[in-house]
Structure 1
Amino acid sequence: MSFFNKYKSIFLITVSTILYFIFAYFLERTAFGTLLFLWVSLFSCFYFLIKSKDINFSTLVGLTILFRFVFLFAIPNLSQDFYRFIWDGRMILEGLNPYLSLPETFIQQGLNPIAETANLFNGMGEMNASHYTNYPPINQLCFLITALFASKSIFGSVVVLRILIILADIGILYFGKKLLERLHLPIKNIFWYVLNPFIIIEMTGNLHFEPVMLFFLIWAFYKLHQQKWIFAAILIACSISVKLIPLLFLPLFYQWFIKNTASWFSGIKKLAFFYFIIFTTTIILFLPFYSTEFIDNYSNSVGLWFGKFEFNASFYYIFRKIGYLITGYNEIAIIGKITPFLTIGFLLIITFFRKNDTLPQLITASLFGLCFYYFTATTVHPWYLATPLILSVFTKYRFPLIWSFIMILSYQAYANLPWKENLWFIGLEYFILYAFLIYEVKPISKRYNKVK
């Protein structure tokens, strides 16, 4: 036993490295049993590595980079979105606006606008190829950088995309640690994000660009805490220009400016200028792609997520069942239009009726606002959870950490050809999540009431 304790850390690191290697190069998405075994094993190693007293901060940083580099030369095996990333980047390199054309149109017309047209089209799948791109401009810049370095090789493009995502996660580690220090929170908390197998696999492995968005967002929170809110506004605009999700957080800044300014009027002026910088910067970043068709194409593409797609949903599946019982039809078109208004209503409630004038309170409000949106959304892809996970690092709550573990149950859908969800697995996922959320929130609220 003493021998094992002495070399426990080396054992955990070795096993994790081997498991990541198997995950990256040998796993088939349809092999759900193997996927589940690897996932549970990696999370177990992750937990004991974080809790180990023998491993210092610098070693954990090294492991953060090591585990990501295991995936460096692997083709993603759980997602095919990267083919569209490569397509968009090469379109821009050829001087073509990716927001104005559909990949399937070129195939139907027998045209080859970019290198490896057929391979990219076949790889991205019919759903991706039949819709206009919905990736904002800084995301497109990442795709263009990839095309500049690897315009004729899918494998080379994958490596470049992966390096960009790894660099973004290193940036999150850097500014996340600095922000934790300023908030007087344990700096080791940042590893609940950067060393999390979910983040390593879904972001570095499957090439989802949430880390680039979150890099700008965490940097913005850091600058906001330094009272450098103009720079923070520019960084938030950059975050929005990678993924649109940070738009949800904008109302929550109201109290930060009102309560931390000498007068209500001066606070409102600062808040208005803060919003002006964010929206102006965002518009400027979109300008290179602007055309008369752009707004229609982009809004239609974004709107599809509310009215057409459904995956790993929570309350929406209950609403859908009720709709079937009442009308006999899937009422996604109606429900999908209602749920955004529910989210807006919830955000306004926590904006004006919850105390959000310190940064931890602001981040906590952002966490619950975003989670409310996901709880009512029609589609919750696994990689969406990266944002609640990083926000939770700066709060008392750990339910997103639990969610990052159990979300693997949603991948059972891909064990079927064609894919099909088993709602028992989805029900189990959300039962565990909500049970832990209630368990976690209740004692915290009790402690708050006692202090109050």
Structure 2
Amino acid sequence: MPQQIITYWKLHKIPILLVILSSVFYFVFAYHLERTDFIKLITLFAALFFLCYKLIQFEKWNFKFLLVIGILFRLIFLFTEPNLSQDYYRFIWDGELVRNFINPYLYVPNSFMENQDIVIANAQELHRGMSELSTKHFSNYPPLNQLIFGLSALLGGKSILGSLVVMRTIIVLSDIGIFYFGRKLLKNLNLSPHLIFWYFLNPLIIVELCGNLHFEGVMLFFFVTSLYLLSINKWQLAAVIYALSISIKLMPLIFLPLFLKHLGVKKSMVFYLLVIIVTVLLLIPFWSPEFISNYSQTVGLWFSNFEFNAGFYNIIKDIAIRFEVKPWELIKTYGKTIPYTVVLIVILLTFVRKNQSLSVMISSMLWILTFYYLLATTVHPWYIVFLVLLTIFTKYRFSLVWSFVIILSYYAYSQTDFKEHLGILSIEYIIVYGFLFFEIFRLYAQKLLFRKN
């Protein structure tokens, strides 16, 4: 055994040293970083990205090694509170309501604190920890996500840290599931299975999902499992799993029209029916006459009230201000156009592209989501996680670049007035647009060359 260890060390000395260094950086990230320390934040993030690149370069065919270290990096965050996001306070708050059989869609935290008997463990601490926007709005997390919150509160033993550990465990298991089914899907698409590590070892994924407790990873587990089932022609079961993805986060809803051409009219109608049935069944425990108005009101805020790390919108805003247009009037008008624009893009890609092929349909999903995020008024770093997963099943890599430079958006958190720096945001989007156009022209040139030959 000692001789085997020595031999393994000699063969993998550099990767092991990179793992140790990465583990130290993740530990510092988890336990010794304030989100106001922007320089330390971007330095750690850049170092982790470089180390991720080198680990994949050295060991991309050593699946067990990279799987184990990917899990190890996530477990480093297990017993700490998120330091880059305060959303987890609302997760636990909603979970406490669900645990006590109270509908989280019917009460905003402020009114509950004022008018109801407190049955929530750590209510004062949770309420103080939430953002002001969160305390005065209804919950916008779909039903299955609420059930996970409730399970975390139940198993957490009325402890904030206990609930966090349960949530992180679920997120880590989901990422392992993404690794498993993502690798299988890559093989079925005749792509290199090692590409899954650009998701699994990506620092943005580890920090934003396991570190900051965003549930995009759970949504993507169901999403990629559904795509894998489609790849082996189990489309009925894929529909059921796809509905579970929607019931964690609503984003997969916008891709549903693409299945019309992929499955054909008859099969797609059954697919849609199964998605509706499962979604409604998950919704029944939370149903009330006020649900639709409360939920739509909260979701609508993301289009017409909030702005963060916007790309195209900031250009429009800068031009509008020169013509003395009020910013609060602009965002309401601009926000109302986004859903119609996205719907138009979805319809266009549904009928123009050859989505009968699963690989083409996935690339259509990538483009729809890319257009939406480039147009959106709010693009939090964890939103890009979805693009990172989609991109590994395509020929494009601009999402990986975006997953690196989007950390620049955290500059706003280092300012006492939460003010964004348009110069820093410009660097982010110049790089993203530049690499995006470079890839488009490169792939177009390759197609022309292929046709000539």
Q: TM exceeds 0.5?
A: yes
Using the TM superposition, give the Cα deviation of residue 109 of structure 1 relative to its aligned residue in structure 2, in angstroms. 3.7
TM-score using structure 1 length: 0.95
State how 1:121-160 maps to structure 2 within 5 Å: 121-160=127-166
Q: Secondary structure at the match of 1:394?
A: coil
2:223 match:
217
Corresponding residue to 2:40 among 31, 34, 38: 34
Q: How does 1:200-211 map to 2 (within 5 A)?
A: 200-211=206-217
Residues 1:73 and 2:92 aligned together: no
Letter in 2 for 1:342: T
1:402-422 Cα distance to aligned partner (Å, 9 max, x none): 000000000000010131111
CA drift of 1:323 comes to: 2.9
**Cα separation, 2, equivalents of 1:418 and 1:327:** 23
Please give the secondary structure, in 1, of the residue aligned with 2:131: helix
Give 1:343's aligned residue: 342
Aligned to 1:337, the other structure's residue is in SS state helix
Residue number in structure 2 paired with 1:328? 325
Find the aligned partners of 1:54 and 1:161 in 2 and give their Cα distance: 29
Select which of 51, 65, 73 maps to 2:57.
51
**Aligned counterpart, 2:355:** 356
The one-letter amino acid of 1:445's match is Y
Provide, for residues 320-369 of structure 1, a one-character-per-residue CA deviation record: whole Å limited to 9, x for no partner: 22333335211111100001111111111111112222111110000011
The answer as to whether partners of 1:319 and 1:335 remain within 8 angstroms in 2 is no
The equivalences for 1:218-233 within 5 A come to 218-233=224-239
Distance of 1:242 and 1:176 partners within structure 2: 19
Q: Contact 1:12 / 1:49 at 8 angstroms: preserved in 2?
A: yes
User: In the aligned structure 2, how far is the partner of 1:155 from the partner of 1:212?
Assistant: 20
Q: Indicate whether 1:13 and 2:12 are aligned.
A: no
5+ residue gaps in structure 1?
Answer: 258-266
Q: Which deviates more, 349-358 or 393-402?
A: 349-358
In the TM superposition, what is the alpha-carbon distance from 1:126 to its structure 2 partner? 1.3
Tell me, what secondary structure is at the counterpart of 2:105?
A: helix
Select between 197-206 and 341-350 the one with higher mean Cα deviation.
Answer: 341-350
Contact in 1 for aligned 2:15/2:59 (Cα 8 Å): no
Question: Offset at 1:152?
Answer: 1.4
| Segment of structure 1 superposing worse, 106-115 or 35-44 | 106-115
Give the Cα–Cα distance (whole angstroms) in 1 for the partners of residues 248 and 381 of structure 2.
Answer: 18
What is the root-mean-square deviation in Å for CA atoms of aligned residues?
1.6
| Pairs within 5 Å for 1:282-321 | 282-321=279-318
* Equivalent-residue separation in structure 1 for 2:395 and 2:325 (angstroms): 43
CA contact (8 A) 1:311 1:379 kept: yes
Structure 1 residue 255 corresponds to structure 2 residue 257 = no
> Quick one: which of 254, 269, 273 aligns to 1:272?
269
**What residue identity is the alignment partner of 2:345?**
F
In structure 2, relative to structure 1, the CA distance for the partners of 1:57 and 1:5 (3 Å cut) is closer
C-alpha distance after superposition, 1:79-117 (max 9, x if no partner): 000010001011011110000001111223474231110
Give the SS at the match of 1:100.
Answer: coil
- Any conservation in 2 of the 1:106–1:113 contact (CA below 8 Å)? no
Does the 8 Å contact 1:9/1:54 carry over to 2?
no
Q: Which amino acid aligns with 1:135?
A: Y
- Distance across 1 between alignment mates of 2:118 and 2:380: 31
> Is 1:411–2:417 an aligned residue pair?
no
Distance across 2 between alignment mates of 1:446 and 1:208: 39
Structure 1 residues 182 and 54, CA gap change in structure 2 (3 angstroms): closer
Q: Deviations over 1:226-274 (max 9, x none)?
A: 11111111111110000000011111122212xxxxxxxxx31211111
Identity of counterpart residues, as a percentage?
47
1:375 lines up with 2:374 in the alignment: yes
Q: Name the residue aligned to 1:112.
A: 118
Unaligned ranges ≥5, structure 2: 1-8
Partner of 1:437 in structure 2?
436
